[in-house]
Amino acid sequence: MLFVLLSGCLSAQSGISTTDNSSPTKGETGKITLQGLTFNTQVQPALETAKAQGKPVFVYARSQVCGWCKKFEDETFTNKTVIKILKENFILLSIDVYDQRSESIDLRVRGTPTEIFLNENGIEIKRIPGYTETQPFLDTINEIIK
């Protein structure tokens, strides 16, 4: 059902170009890099890739002005184990709640950061509203890939 809802979403790009490693950088169209992890920024292509590869989607809802998002990115997205598991087992999708309002509404994002896990069909598996420390996040992603 979520897949159908999101299929009509308009895509938007987020990110700024900077040399600061803790800030998002914009590479190819529809992508953003956060601490070395490259995320899709367009919902529909991410869902299509997930379906084709049979992988779950990790949706990271954030904003550039969110202090808790920066803390999460600095702590969790720099953890080698987290990076490895996310890169190998998930399709990564990041939405900026200010730049991508319709996507945020469709995904029922109420605040930032929010981490949402969808199966390969776009159905929600788990949601983590707000900041979470690295170990509980790692426990969650390990649970999802089992």
* Closest to 22 (Cα-Cα) out of 57, 62, 51: 62
* 134, 141 contact by CB (below 8 A): no
44 dihedral zone (left: phi>0; alpha: psi -120 to 50; beta): alpha
Note the pLDDT of residue 23.
Answer: 53
Residue type, 82: V
Instruction: Return the sign of the alpha-carbon dihedral for residues 59, 108, 113, 25.
Output: positive
**Structural domain containing residue 90:** 2-145
| pLDDT band of 29, cuts 50, 70, 90 | confident
In the predicted model, is pLDDT for residue 131 greater than 60?
yes
Instruction: Render pLDDT for 95-120 as a digit per residue (tens, 0 to 9).
Output: 999 999 999 999 999 999 999 999 99
61 vs 29, residue with greater confidence: 61
Q: What total of structural domains would you count in the chain?
A: 1
CATH at residue 134: 3.40.30.10
Note the pLDDT of residue 26.
Answer: 56
The order of strands in the sheet holding 31-34 is 25-26, 31-34, 37-40, 91-96, 57-62, 114-118, 124-129
Note the pLDDT of residue 6.
Answer: 36
Q: What is the mean pLDDT of residues 4-17?
A: 34
Note the pLDDT of residue 25.
Answer: 59
In the predicted model, is pLDDT for residue 10 greater than 60?
no
Tell me what percent of the residues of the chain surpass a pLDDT of 90.
77
Mean pLDDT, all residues of the chain: 84
In the predicted model, is pLDDT for residue 8 greater than 60?
no
pTM to 2 decimals?
0.80
Note the pLDDT of residue 24.
Answer: 61
Note the pLDDT of residue 95.
Answer: 96
